[in-house]
Chains A and B, each alone.
Chain A
Amino acid sequence: MRKSLSILTALTLLSACDTLQYDSRSGDLWDTNVASANDGIYINLPFADELIRVNESGISVVDLTGAIPNRLVESPDGSQVLVFANWEECKDDDSDIVYPEDCDDLVSNSVLSIVSDATVTSEVEIPSHLNTVSFSNDGAIAVAYLDYDAGGDIQVDGFADLGEVAFIRVSNGSKGSASVGFSPKQVLFSPDNQAVVMSQSQVVAVDLDTFEKTLEAPLTLDADQAINPSNAELAYDPESGVTNLLLTVEGSSDIYMLNLESKYWNIGDLGAIATDIGVDDVTAQSVFVFSGSSKAVVLDHGELATLNASSLQDIDLEEPSNKALMGAGFAMLYNDASGAVHDVYKLDLATRELTEYVVSNPVSELMITDSGSYAVAVVRPENSGSSDYQDSRYGLSILDLSSDESISLVAQSEPIGVALVEDESNSYALALLSGSDTLLQVNLASPNSPAEVDLPAPPVSIAGMPNGNFVITHNQSLGMVSILDPATLELQTMSNFAVTNLFEQKELPRTESEQNEEAE
């Protein structure tokens, strides 16, 4: 009897001493920032640490060989998706260590995986702090760099050169890198296959064939002086056939011009601190706008070789514009910073004719249709707390750029996504409103009776796809995306994908030696 009770007690204690395991994961099951490629929608599952592709044939799991995806960027032609990922490596080679939480000496390795047709075609090791990607004009080269304005935590393993820019040939994953100085801010691509990188106090050009630096041009000769570029564009001079870099800097009214062929600087004075630059290749002119001055400045690229005060033509505006959105042969000037400015201007760059549109409320965003027939402004409530019905609400303002007419529509709630699409005869705005299960198709020629498309669930975002369709993400935790054919307004909805491998605990993916073997 005593023996039996002893065994019973021992078993009870043993069962009470089971190792407790907790699921430490948290957050959303899927990331609504999806990447649209030609072969489907790529979706990051941050809870399951998986990458999947969803298309009409179903769900495919992309094998990243244990790497955990962080962020997805589709290539401009939609043929590939670049996946920022990291994989965890245990420096302790004890074979009993299977899961990351078992390892006390865990390090993280950052990679950029290039994915096509749900398969990793190549993988590139990149520094963990690179958080932004730009693509060359032909989409063949991806340039990864650290943009402090991109937000998010900056991850540094050991020591890192924050001025390092990685150049990745998307077709085969070959990589080069260049140190471009402190705080790279913007990358531009010239027609002669160069990447021009703006960083603090200098401009660096890199040949995209060799990934070698071809130019290092300081913005100041005083090493103690920090000059931060604010905006930059490349301007082509049709007379000389030379591409010039136009650069404005923070806190200065100067315009810096760099001839990329002769490598000579020229500096002019815009008369005010520019907030945006627009370049029009049709008329070979550039437009500068200023949040602190009610004017725009036009620069004819033919004057670039002999830049002086007479090369810059002022265009007076009634109210200041801080943004320039370029169409073919014209610029739309607007202000998305001020809560008091309602003016939107169309500046015809061939004739310098200025057309003023007054929209109902301050502008948040402005878009131009591909044909240039219409511009659509998303407007927001007045800051003044006005009791006027329209002033206190979101809306859309439709600007007919042919007739110079404008119509302002009041929205029932905040537009969370607006996209423009055109067919042979009409232009449309596709609008998603917060809290509404309906997509509105607004015919821009007759906007008062929009067509409604019932959505299966409240939307989160809408974005264009390479094939001309649109992808709509929905606020459904288990996953839901819809593909909209703008021609037929038919929806194809796919859901439940966010539970893929939900109950699978990730083992340590690979060892350093395995990684080296793969590399060999």
Chain B
Amino acid sequence: MNTLLATLLSGSGNQFDYTYSLAAEVGTVAQEDADWDMASNWQVNTTGLRLGYQVNDNVDILGSVHWGSQGNGSAYDYYYYEEYDESYNSSMSGYEIQVSETLIHLGPKMSWNINSWLAPYATAQGLVIHNRLQMSDNGSFDEDSKTLIDDSGLGFGATGALGLEIRTRPIAKKAQLFFYGETGVSAATALNFSLQGAGADEGDINIGDLGYGGSYFRLGAGTKF
């Protein structure tokens, strides 16, 4: 095992010359708003793709898109269990909520290439978040639902992170596999949702906002070519 690892990681000592990189990722930007508990008690990781463009040996421009969905079913569970609590008296049937997330990062990455297979790095990226909030009583989010909330929100922010990248031996001098993990902090404006035109005189009625911010975490694997 150790021999295989040494073989994979060993290189000529020179950096692999590439133009682009493509990686698959999982990770989170922390949800800092307690109201997220209505969607799910535990934050679910997003998954996505990261595309890189090498500017020079130490600098890449990174862009990534992540998708995720925070749903409940938990609201149904909540009511289900509470039915057996004699102190609870609910006349309602329960509701379902789903938040579909899209997170876009774009920014530079500065690497410190210690050797051909190990490179700590730092990155600072702009962040755009789009969420679609859907709620209904019967769990379907189409127009047949008797009640339906469907609105989108947009947030803007930034992420700063430090990471560690491990690279394998280049394959036929054309491609190189790499693995990385990074962590840091994110901050973003809250995403606001409303009932469009539901207010008196067709004004909007505020639902409120959901916020992101705090810890940031990513794990990824990909190839440079």
Task: Give A contacts to B, CB under 8 Å.
Answer: 1, 4-5, 7-8, 11-12, 14-16, 18, 21-23, 26-29, 32, 55, 57-61, 118, 456-457, 460, 475-480, 495-497, 499-505
Most chain B CB atoms below 10 A, which of A5, A457, A499: A499
Q: How far is the CA of A371 from the CA of B42 in the complex (A)?
A: 60
- Rounded to whole Å, the gap between the CB of A476 and the closest CB of chain B is 5
Contact between chains at A456 and B183 (CB < 8 Å): no
- Rounded to whole Å, the gap between the CB of A458 and the closest CB of chain B is 8
Contact between chains at B95 and A478 (CB < 8 Å): yes
Q: How far is the CA of A29 from the CA of B96 in the complex (A)?
A: 13
Contact between chains at B147 and A58 (CB < 8 Å): no
Contact of A4 among B112, B207, B208, B217 (CB under 8 A): B112
Contact between chains at A15 and B216 (CB < 8 Å): yes
Contact between chains at B90 and A504 (CB < 8 Å): no
Known A4-B120, A8-B163, A500-B207; further 16 A-B contacts with Cβ < 8 A = A4-B162, A15-B183, A15-B185, A15-B216, A18-B30, A18-B214, A21-B33, A22-B34, A28-B92, A57-B200, A59-B200, A476-B146, A478-B137, A496-B147, A499-B195, A504-B209
Contact between chains at B92 and A29 (CB < 8 Å): yes
For B112, list chain A residues within 8 Å (CB). Answer: 4
Whether A15 contacts B30 in the complex (CB less than 8 A), given A499-B195, A503-B193, A505-B35, comes out as yes
B215 CB-CB contact with A under 8 Å: yes
Who on chain A is nearest to B182 by CB? A8
Supply 8 A–B pairs (Cβ within 8 Å), ascending by A: A22-B37, A58-B198, A59-B199, A61-B205, A456-B146, A478-B147, A496-B149, A497-B205
Q: How far is the CA of A117 from the CA of B112 in the complex (A)?
A: 66
For A496, list chain B residues within 8 Å (CB). Answer: 147-149, 195, 198
Q: How far is the CA of A475 from the CA of B201 in the complex (A)?
A: 27
Contact between chains at B199 and A28 (CB < 8 Å): no
For B207, list chain A residues within 8 Å (CB). Answer: 499-503
Q: How far is the CA of A327 from the CA of B135 in the complex (A)?
A: 48
B 181-218 to A, binary, CB cutoff 8 A, 1 in contact else 0 = 00111000000010101111111011111100011110
Q: How far is the CA of A495 from the CA of B30 in the complex (A)?
A: 32
- Rounded to whole Å, the gap between the CB of A446 and the closest CB of chain B is 33
Contact of B114 among A1, A57, A495 (CB under 8 A): A1
Contact between chains at A499 and B203 (CB < 8 Å): no
B3 CB-CB contact with A under 8 Å: no
Contact of A59 among B161, B164, B198 (CB under 8 A): B198
Most chain A CB atoms below 10 A, which of B92, B94, B136, B183: B92
Contact between chains at A15 and B206 (CB < 8 Å): no
- Rounded to whole Å, the gap between the CB of A10 and the closest CB of chain B is 9
Which 4 A-B pairs rank lowest in CB-CB distance, beginning with the nearest?
A: A503-B208, A15-B215, A23-B37, A477-B95
Chain B interface bracket (under 10, 10 to 19, 20 to 34, 35 or more): 35 or more
- Rounded to whole Å, the gap between the CB of A238 and the closest CB of chain B is 47
- Rounded to whole Å, the gap between the CB of A471 and the closest CB of chain B is 16
Who on chain B is nearest to A7 by CB? B162
Whether A499 contacts B135 in the complex (CB less than 8 A), given A18-B30, A476-B92, comes out as yes
B38 CB-CB contact with A under 8 Å: yes
For B142, list chain A residues within 8 Å (CB). Answer: none
Contact between chains at A501 and B199 (CB < 8 Å): no
Contact between chains at B135 and A478 (CB < 8 Å): yes
Q: How far is the CA of A58 from the CA of B148 in the complex (A)?
A: 16
Contact between chains at A504 and B208 (CB < 8 Å): yes
- Rounded to whole Å, the gap between the CB of B39 and the closest CB of chain A is 10
- Rounded to whole Å, the gap between the CB of B54 and the closest CB of chain A is 21
Contact between chains at B205 and A479 (CB < 8 Å): no
Who on chain A is nearest to B79 by CB? A477
B93 CB-CB contact with A under 8 Å: yes
For A118, list chain B residues within 8 Å (CB). Answer: 200
For B135, list chain A residues within 8 Å (CB). Answer: 478, 499
- Rounded to whole Å, the gap between the CB of B101 and the closest CB of chain A is 15
- Rounded to whole Å, the gap between the CB of A254 and the closest CB of chain B is 39
Q: How far is the CA of A11 from the CA of B163 in the complex (A)?
A: 10
Contact between chains at B33 and A59 (CB < 8 Å): no
B91 CB-CB contact with A under 8 Å: yes
For A11, list chain B residues within 8 Å (CB). Answer: 161-162, 183-185
Contact of A21 among B34, B114, B162 (CB under 8 A): B34
Whether A500 contacts B91 in the complex (CB less than 8 A), given A11-B185, A22-B37, A23-B35, comes out as no
Contact between chains at A60 and B35 (CB < 8 Å): no
Who on chain A is nearest to B96 by CB? A477
Contact of A475 among B91, B161, B205, B217 (CB under 8 A): B91
Who on chain B is nearest to A499 by CB? B207
Who on chain B is nearest to A4 by CB? B120
B 126-152 to A, binary, CB cutoff 8 A, 1 in contact else 0 = 000000000111000000001111000
B32 CB-CB contact with A under 8 Å: yes
- Rounded to whole Å, the gap between the CB of B139 and the closest CB of chain A is 11
Q: How far is the CA of A23 from the CA of B211 in the complex (A)?
A: 14
Whether A32 contacts B91 in the complex (CB less than 8 A), given A7-B162, A23-B37, A503-B193, comes out as yes
Contact between chains at A479 and B147 (CB < 8 Å): yes
Who on chain A is nearest to B161 by CB? A11
Contact of A476 among B34, B114, B137, B193 (CB under 8 A): B137
Contact between chains at B91 and A58 (CB < 8 Å): no
Contact between chains at B215 and A18 (CB < 8 Å): yes
For A476, list chain B residues within 8 Å (CB). Answer: 92-93, 137, 146-147
Who on chain A is nearest to B210 by CB? A503
Contact between chains at B34 and A23 (CB < 8 Å): yes
Who on chain A is nearest to B211 by CB? A503
For B183, list chain A residues within 8 Å (CB). Answer: 8, 11-12, 15
Q: How far is the CA of A504 from the CA of B210 in the complex (A)?
A: 9
Who on chain B is nearest to A56 by CB? B200
Who on chain B is nearest to A504 by CB? B208
- Rounded to whole Å, the gap between the CB of B192 and the closest CB of chain A is 9
Contact of B94 among A4, A7, A59, A477 (CB under 8 A): A477
For A505, list chain B residues within 8 Å (CB). Answer: 34-35
Contact of B91 among A5, A7, A456, A460 (CB under 8 A): A460
Contact between chains at A477 and B200 (CB < 8 Å): no
For A478, list chain B residues within 8 Å (CB). Answer: 95, 135-137, 147, 149
Whether A500 contacts B206 in the complex (CB less than 8 A), given A58-B198, A59-B200, A456-B146, comes out as yes
Contact between chains at A8 and B34 (CB < 8 Å): no
Most chain A CB atoms below 10 A, which of B193, B199, B201: B199
Q: How far is the CA of A61 from the CA of B198 in the complex (A)?
A: 11
Q: How far is the CA of A355 from the CA of B83 in the complex (A)?
A: 46
For A22, list chain B residues within 8 Å (CB). Answer: 34, 37
Contact of A28 among B90, B164, B202 (CB under 8 A): B90
